[in-house]
Amino acid sequence: MHLMTNRLTLCRPDDWHLHLRDGAMLAAVAPHSARLGRAIIMPNLVPPVVTGADAAAYRDRIRAALPAGAPLQPLMTLYLTETTDPADVVASHRDGIIAAVKLYPAGATTNSASGVRDFDRVRPVFEAMAAAGIPLCVHGEVTDPEVDIFDREAVFIDRVLDPIRRATPGLRVVMEHVTTREGVDYVRANDAIGATITTHHLVINRNAILAGGIRPHYYCLPVAKRETHRLALRAAATSGDPRFFSGTDSAPHPDRAKESACGCAGCFTAPNWLPIVAQVFEEEAALDRLEQFVSLNGATFYGYPANEDRITLVRRADPAGAPAEIRADQDRVTVFDPGFPLHWHVEDPA
């Protein structure tokens, strides 16, 4: 990376956790992620992407929704269920159809009803994945109604994640959208584990959702925690530690589904995530480590080379950023508002 005042050139960024949805929503949001190099595509459609054949068909729908010549290479994942066939997982990975498998505890989040209830039932899948070197992406929250929602990530580490990792040596795990100091500490203390950190969790704490009125566009899962946790995430992201990398978890929903008595979880950050992350790194005096977080660490974890082409970020006085909302058919989809002006403009020669 080349750093001059107000100008940064970096390898084309990737997104290691992205929701592109399907149908009209896919058509509306795909252009906003088209300038990425690669993205790990989440499989929580209705119905979910459970087999290699499902993943190949979804990949083709994504490609069809991208503008011609878009650099984005979608890296597909399978949605792990208690009836997932280990042989299908291994064959799909060997054939280059999937890059990873996603574990959702049943009921943990949006469209997770077909997720895993009994983790012992998926042991054979974990073992086959460890043997074949296939990463497991984990939504790390328990769903036990007795556990406070703000504690669900920390409890998951003790009750579920650590036992799985001990029982399956060599299994490569990504703790998706880590939101707590406990999560950061667990990743730092262990091998064969990485973590994505979202854009929004670097910016908001739980006050943004609840103080002075309830703000559904800041509600996501895992829910944003108190300020000490946000600071731990910022320290991890900007540390240069290769185990932490950017996964936006950009998760579009129609406004009518979020602005509701039971609003759904997800922040739509695809249109403005990079100017926001650049601003965070600037505030942390860590612009020299931005490329590691957005372009290098994730690729290394997943075993890909860095993207060969480059983009430039230019800091200018005029505001950078995105529209406040986009349309998907008749629906409005609100873009994440970081609450501060953005000044890093993305220049993409491709």
The residues that are catalytic are 249
- Please say whether the dihedral angle defined by the alpha carbons of residues 286, 287, 289 and 293, taken in this order, is positive or negative: positive
CA distance 314 to 322: 15
- Our finding on whether 25 is near ligand DOR (CB under 6 A) is no
Burial of 308 (0-12, 13-18, 19+ CB in 10 A): exposed
CA distance 192 to 182: 17
What is the CA 18 to chain-centroid distance, rounded?
5
Picked from Zn ion, ligand DOR, none, the partner binding residue 280 (CB below 5 to 8 A depending on kind) is none
Site for ligand DOR, residues 159 to 218, rule: CB under 6 A:
none
Contact by Cβ (8 Å): 124, 86:
yes
Q: Which is nearer to Zn ion, 14 or 249 (CB)?
A: 249
In whole angstroms, the minimum distance from the beta carbon of 249 to Zn ion comes to: 4
Picked from ligand DOR, Zn ion, none, the partner binding residue 229 (CB below 5 to 8 A depending on kind) is none
Residue 287 has a CB neighbour count (10 Å cut-off) of 20
Contact by Cβ (8 Å): 294, 246:
yes
In whole angstroms, the minimum distance from the beta carbon of 266 to ligand DOR comes to: 3
- Find all residues with CB under 8 Å of 239, minimum gap 6, and list them: 289
In whole angstroms, the minimum distance from the beta carbon of 289 to ligand DOR comes to: 26
Member of 12, 15, 16, 19 binding ligand DOR (CB under 6 A):
19
Member of 18, 29, 251, 333 binding ligand DOR (CB under 6 A):
251
In whole angstroms, the minimum distance from the beta carbon of 18 to Zn ion comes to: 8
Could you tell me the strand order of the sheet in which 344-347 lies?
A: 2-4, 7-11, 310-315, 344-347
Contacts to Zn ion by CB under 5 A: 249
Picked from Zn ion, ligand DOR, none, the partner binding residue 221 (CB below 5 to 8 A depending on kind) is ligand DOR
In whole angstroms, the minimum distance from the beta carbon of 335 to Zn ion comes to: 17
Contact by Cβ (8 Å): 301, 194:
yes
Q: Measuring CA to CA, which residue among 266, 273, 197, 241 is closest to residue 13?
A: 273
- Our finding on whether 110 is near ligand DOR (CB under 6 A) is yes
Q: Which is nearer to ligand DOR, 178 or 296 (CB)?
A: 178
- Our finding on whether 246 is near ligand DOR (CB under 6 A) is no
Q: Measuring CA to CA, which residue among 324, 319, 308 is closest to residue 343?
A: 319
In whole angstroms, the minimum distance from the beta carbon of 323 to Zn ion comes to: 22
Binding mask 259-288 for ligand DOR (x = CB under 6 A): ------xx----------------------
- Our finding on whether 109 is near ligand DOR (CB under 6 A) is yes
Member of 134, 221, 287, 290 binding ligand DOR (CB under 6 A):
221
- Our finding on whether 39 is near ligand DOR (CB under 6 A) is no
Do strands 7-11 and 310-315 pair parallel, antiparallel, or not at all (unpaired)?
antiparallel
Q: Which is nearer to ligand DOR, 52 or 252 (CB)?
A: 252
Interface positions with ligand DOR (CB under 6 A) = 19, 44, 109-110, 139, 220-221, 249, 251, 265-266
